[in-house]
Amino acid sequence: MWSPEINYPLSVTSFTHIQWSALQKAYNGIFLSNIGIARTNSHDIIFGPYLYNGFNISELLVRQSTCHLQYLLSYLCASDNVGALLTSTTPITGTVATKKR
């Protein structure tokens, strides 16, 4: 299946929504017809969850964003130089900004 080959480089890619749409159109027609699904089905049916009778195929843009977050969090949790640098430079401090009166 194509999924491992596409998922592997997602953490280091920065494709835009338009670029992902073009890539997804290219493989969706072939992929969906190989598993017996008409590519003319609604976007909601193809990418919707099983709970709502969708096919639960995740969009590549969502996968890329998820991989970016996982990659960032793994570095933030690491106790190495990269984790320390990210921790010191990110505005995530855990404090809530309050409005001065």
| Res. 96: pLDDT tops 50 | no
User: 97 in a domain, yes or no?
Assistant: no
DSSP code at position 101: -
- Supply the range of the domain harboring residue 77: 3-89
User: 101 in a domain, yes or no?
Assistant: no
Burial letters for 6-23: b for 16+ Cβ neighbours within 10 Å, e otherwise?
beeebbeeeeeeeebeee
Domain count along the chain: 1
The reply to whether the predicted model has a pTM over 0.75 is: no
- Other CB atoms within 10 A of residue 66 CB: 14
User: 34 in a domain, yes or no?
Assistant: yes
Angstrom distance (rounded) from CA 96 to CA 35: 49
| pLDDT digit string, tens, across residues 13-49 | 888 889 988 888 888 878 888 888 887 888 888 888 8
